[in-house]
A and B are shown apart, each in its own frame.
Chain A
Amino acid sequence: MQGFLDIFDIYLLEAVVNGILLGGVLALLALGLNLIFGVIDVTWICYAELVMIGMYGMYYMVQVFGLPYWVAAPIAIMLVAALGALLHYIVIAPLLTAPPINQLLATGGVLFILQSFATVAFGIDFRNLGIRLPVLAIGDMHFSYSRLLAFIAALLGMLAVYFFMTRTYTGTAIRAISQDRQIMSLMGVDTKRIYLITSALGGALAGLAACLLVLQYDVHPFVGLSFGPITFLICVLGGLGNFVGGFIAAFVFAEIISLGGLFSDLEWGYVLAFAFFIVMMFIRPAGLLARRS
């Protein structure tokens, strides 16, 4: 009996740590979505599909063209950033004055396009980089280096965004624009340009997430469906556009998924997370950190 409990505790601790590691990447995705929502007032429901394209980019560069991972990653980030800017330019910009729901649904159309583009262009096979990073053993616990790396890189990415947002003129304008859109031109700010930069930045974050996720998961055209919905729940719970709330909610959800997955399949972790979300809506309908207009 004692032995059983020991093992259980170790698994539990391992799951808790793995949850934290997963939280890093989810927080990265939530930050990207929140950034776009905060500035442009639109939700890209195809956000996880941008990540999927980034993962394919990594796959092709590393597996097919034989580029080293470290060379491929910045290219993939730039590729998805460009995709984000393009998405804004082609789809969102013409709809800026339309009802917000139309913008959102249009990105739903883009979700279809990206998924089926991937199906047509890359096929439905599961693919991976073929890079297997070693596993770190601490006592009886095992953590994969890929998760550790993902966690650290995600934190660094968020830190970079933080500095960009607080130290640069463009970053300050990004924070200002959601508070008073009309007078931005009095400051000499071209809002169209800020929208485009924000979209590219949101894309870049998706690209970074892609570089990190492709180390842990196989890529296929529908891979976005396995972490897209959870990212949306995180953003709603944290309060759309609320960076701190999204950050905290990401770790809360990651823990639920990780601990839920301890007892059975990972999918049940998602179900638990959704159930938790519904309960939270009753308890704190305004989000984790209430500040919502």
Chain B
Amino acid sequence: MLELKSVDAGYGTFQALFGTNLEVKAGEAVGVIGPNGAGKTTLMRVISGLIRPSRGTIAMEGRDVVATPAHRIVDLGIAHVPENRRLFPRLTVDDNLKMGAYMPGARAKYAERLEFVFDLFPRMKERRSQMAGTLSGGEQQMCAIGRALMSDPKLLLLDEPSAGLAPVVVQQVFELVKRIRAGGLTVLIVEQNVQQVLRVVDRAYLLEAGTIRASGTSEEMMKTDTIKQAYLGV
């Protein structure tokens, strides 16, 4: 479904990704793990067009992502839940969700998608007329994921969904990710919380210093010595 080939990317003169190759197949859940500053967020941003690669190709279902204007990438079926959620704090939950359905294709399905999101997050229905900035951290994450789902994406990019949340809430978020997956959505998730994420995904990549160091199924990754020592604390 999504294929990155030898992608270089960065900010100004600072390069964050070096020749990254990555593939996500339809229906899969794929994790990218790695330490802080490894380039995980850059990877997400380069896929959703927030930054542009200096080299390499990105294809979504065979269509060229790099050549698509940033605001058209949603139309390819990619929805990005950014790091730190980035809700519109002074808009209501309803309006935030509405922004998720901004593309003409999504507007037609607005009512249907809204029902889907409210089914998934009943809490959001209760809070729909509340300002997003006044929600709790977990609720904000739900709202951010809900907003992304409003566009009826084929691929959901999740950037550190557990960041800044209380441990109990982290559990809930990963439960949600499982449920979203079960609905048939393809998910690419970036996480520092390696133990949790490996339980949710089918395959994972290890990204260190802008380079893919290892990849494999979650079971393989959990058995890899380097990962065990560095990330799982075993």
Contacts and interface: CB of A to CB of B under 8 A. Distances in A.
B89 A179 contact: yes
B70 A185 contact: yes
Contacts of B147: 187
B91 A187 contact: no
Given A185-B49, A188-B102, A169 B71 contact: no
Interface stretch (B53-61, B74-82, B114-122, B164-172): B74-82
Contact of A189 (B48, B80, B102): B102
B50 A176 contact: no
Contacts of A190: 69, 71
Interface in B87-136: 88-91, 95, 98-103, 106-107
Contacts of A182: 50
Contacts of B101: 169
A75 to B, nearest CB: 30
A271 B102 CA distance: 47
B74 A169 contact: no
Given A186-B48, A186-B80, A179 B90 contact: yes
Contacts of A172: 91, 95, 98-99, 102
A179 B102 contact: no
Given A176-B99, A180-B86, A182-B50, A188 B91 contact: no
Interface string A178-215: 01101111111111000000000000000000000000
Nearest to B49: A185
A188 B74 contact: yes
B99 A173 contact: yes
Interface string A151-195: 000000000000000000100110110011011111111110000
Nearest to A190: B71
A187 B103 CA distance: 7
Nearest to B150: A187
B86 A189 contact: no
A183 B82 CA distance: 8
Contacts of A189: 71, 99, 102
A132 B82 CA distance: 59
Contacts of A179: 88-91
Contacts of B75: 188
Contacts of B107: 169
B151 interface: yes
Contacts of B69: 190
Nearest to B107: A169
Contacts of A184: 71
Given A184-B71, A187-B74, A188-B72, A176 B100 contact: no
A186 B50 contact: yes
Given A169-B107, A172-B95, A182-B50, A187 B102 contact: yes
A173 B107 CA distance: 13
A176 B70 contact: no
A50 to B, nearest CB: 29
A179 B107 CA distance: 22
A197 to B, nearest CB: 13
Interface in B11-42: none
Given A175-B91, A188-B151, A190-B69, A183 B86 contact: yes
A189 B107 CA distance: 13
Contact of A186 (B82, B91, B95, B98): B82
Interface string A207-236: 000000000000000000000000000000
A182 B91 CA distance: 16
Contacts of A183: 50, 82, 86
B102 A180 contact: no
Contacts of A176: 88, 91, 95, 99
Interface in B167-211: none
B78 to A, nearest CB: 9
B99 to A, nearest CB: 5
Nearest to A179: B88
A231 B95 CA distance: 30
B98 to A, nearest CB: 5
Nearest to B48: A186
Interface of B: 48-50, 69-75, 79-80, 82, 86, 88-91, 95, 98-103, 106-107, 147, 151
Q: Which 10 A-B pairs have the closest CB atoms?
A: A188-B74, A185-B70, A188-B103, A185-B71, A179-B88, A190-B71, A176-B88, A187-B102, A187-B99, A188-B102
8 contacts: A172-B95, A176-B88, A176-B91, A176-B99, A187-B71, A188-B106, A189-B71, A190-B71
Given A173-B102, A187-B99, A187-B102, 20 more contacts: A169-B102, A172-B91, A172-B95, A172-B98, A172-B102, A176-B91, A179-B91, A182-B50, A183-B82, A183-B86, A184-B71, A185-B49, A185-B50, A185-B70, A186-B82, A187-B71, A188-B102, A188-B106, A188-B151, A189-B102
